[in-house]
Amino acid sequence: MQWQCLPFEQLTTHQLYDLLKLRVDVFVVEQNCPYPDLDNSDRQAGTHHLLGYKNDVLVAYLRLLPPGATYANTSIGRVLTAASERGTGAGHELLQQGLKYAEQLWPNHTIDIGAQSHLQHYYSRYGFDVTSDEYLEDGIPHVDMRLGKGIVCE
């Protein structure tokens, strides 16, 4: 997989189209959840977009947000892999790359996420701990999770 981590201003129109299409395909169509995906966080100062390509096709994506954007701490969101890549390890590679880039962008920072509840085990494998009760976000059960300061990912 080839990785690119870019701020909004450096995304090409094709990259932006591809990442928005992939987010809609997964979060709106697959999960049958119409929600306001365009929340202005994509273009907020400091936000970076991690794009994972396989054979020049975008198949993995996540958004890295600076402290104060959505949580007081650094955060990772919109984590997804294309349906064709699930079960191949692409999701694990995506999160590993995301944590690596977060550490490069904001060394020794705590990372908060809002995880779909059924993915708690996935995130806990990387050291995230649940920090909230379950809540509904856009009709889907979520929990907040946190990765402590100074976690260095290999």
Contact by Cβ (8 Å): 37, 70: no
The structure tokens listed for 29 are: 């169509």
pLDDT, position 149: 60
pLDDT, position 138: 80
pLDDT, position 154: 40
Contact by Cβ (8 Å): 110, 99: no
pLDDT, position 38: 79
Contact by Cβ (8 Å): 24, 18: no
Fold of 2-147: Aminopeptidase (3.40.630)
Provide the whole-model pTM: 0.90
pLDDT, position 77: 93
Using alpha carbons, select from 71, 50, 67 the residue that is nearest to residue 114.
71
pLDDT, position 45: 95
Domain ranges of the chain: 2-147
Residue 131, C-beta contacts closer than 8 angstroms, at least 6 positions apart: 112, 143, 144, 145, 146
pLDDT, averaged per 10 consecutive residues of the chain (154 residues), comes to: 97 96 87 77 95 97 95 94 93 96 94 94 94 90 85 43
pLDDT, position 137: 86
